[in-house]
Structure 1
Amino acid sequence: MTLDLNLRVVRTNAEVSGPSVLFIHGFASSGELNWERSRWLKYFTDAGRNVLLVDLPGHGEDPRRNEGSWAPSQIRQALAAIVMEFDEGPVDVIGYSLGSRLAWEFAAFNPDLVEHLIMGGPGAGDPLAAFDLVQGRANVAAGEPINDDYTATIMKIAQAEPSNDISALFELIEAIKSEPYDPAAKIPSVPTLLVAGDQDDLATTLPRLRRLLKDAGTRNEVLWLAGRNHANAVTSREFKEKALAFLAS
């Protein structure tokens, strides 16, 4: 059964200037938090782009709307179903953090559905692989301390948004872990833009992604945002401007 991802279709009020844009948010965020509050939706709809805005499983207003597997392969199938149902041709795809990992795989497995790929805050490693679910669940259930720095950091991110369902996020982490990320296994063939803050510790392996793209013959560009980190790169106007210019190239 294909996952029923929460979807908002936001139509432009201007003359359509290019393919629709599929936005994929990061972990412990949502379509609204990641893209609407940071004004990506307005920026793109004002520029003549229709937007497909999804909430990943475990996220958004109805985090448990999907039963069954939440593994990345199932999310890819759900995204493909959305694109084929709502658009006559390929879309441009923009992902951030976990959304970048999913966007890389979506574009690699569905080149006929993707025109351009933009990845924000990306890395060559699995962003959730190192999370210690045992410690995370024990912390929530009984207040036990977390002695793993990475797990503590992710927990802080997850708990920063009061509306997050932490147990649902744990279920997504478990599903993500079931299919480890290996960007070299299948590489996108569509033009790709990699964007990260130069203070983003999670994007230090971005150059490996670029090497994979170059070796595969995929056209690619990189933008480093001065003074930005993983948390605030997505709010950068420079990021938005570069993204729109890249999609028009």
Structure 2
Amino acid sequence: MTDGRVVLDAREVRKRYGQAAALDGVSLEVRAGECVALVGESGSGKTTLLRCFNRMTEIDGGTVRVDGDDVAAIDPVELRRRVGYVPQEGGLLPHWTVLRNAALVPWLRGDAQAERRAAEALAWVGLPAERFGGRWPRELSGGQRQRVAIARALAASPSIVLLDEPFGALDAITRAELQTAFDALRRRLETTAVFVTHDLHEAALLADRIAVLRSGRIEQVAPPAELLAAPATEYVRDLLSRARMVAA
């Protein structure tokens, strides 16, 4: 449920890597409680745009705001403690237990209840701390590691979470289970989410709106049904066709 308040705002954002334009004047607004999927082919700028919101990518031009604050004026470490982040394949610390991994952000924020918050987050994703908290990441399945990564991102109760292909490395059954769990959890917590995916079916399943990127530009931003019914460009139409997606 979105209240209409813009909490993530990219305006005319530009980013180059050498001669290549990763982002070429991209603008995108995300409202509170909304889930937005960033889709497109490899090299389209999806991950670069996602990482602009937590300053893991420093932009060359334009502005990025989080909760109305220009991220250029926020200490990047503090910003990353405010905004939950799930990198590709989880990024768990292998020498830390599951509970300690999940407690990372509240611990960094000096929260005396860090372990309690971590245990609560692990319960949210179906990994009770009394059973899984003492395990090492190497003792978990791929799906379980990704659940821990999501719990870590949510343990400090951020209002915003960014996810970079959070389900991409999983088998089909595990992926479907985790998609369903994430969707239910996000809605229950009323968390604003932006996630990167190559999979248009996944985007249509989980997102309130889909932003299609191509060569550093946004081709279309629309709810899934609108995207299917009225693709704005030939590229979007071709992308939908290749994904074998047609309007109902």
Query: What's the TM-score once normalised by structure 2's chain length?
Result: 0.31
Q: Higher relative CO (CA 8 A, sep ≥ 6), structure 1 or 2? A: 2
Task: Decide which structure has greater strand share.
Answer: 2
Query: What's the TM-score once normalised by structure 1's chain length?
Result: 0.31
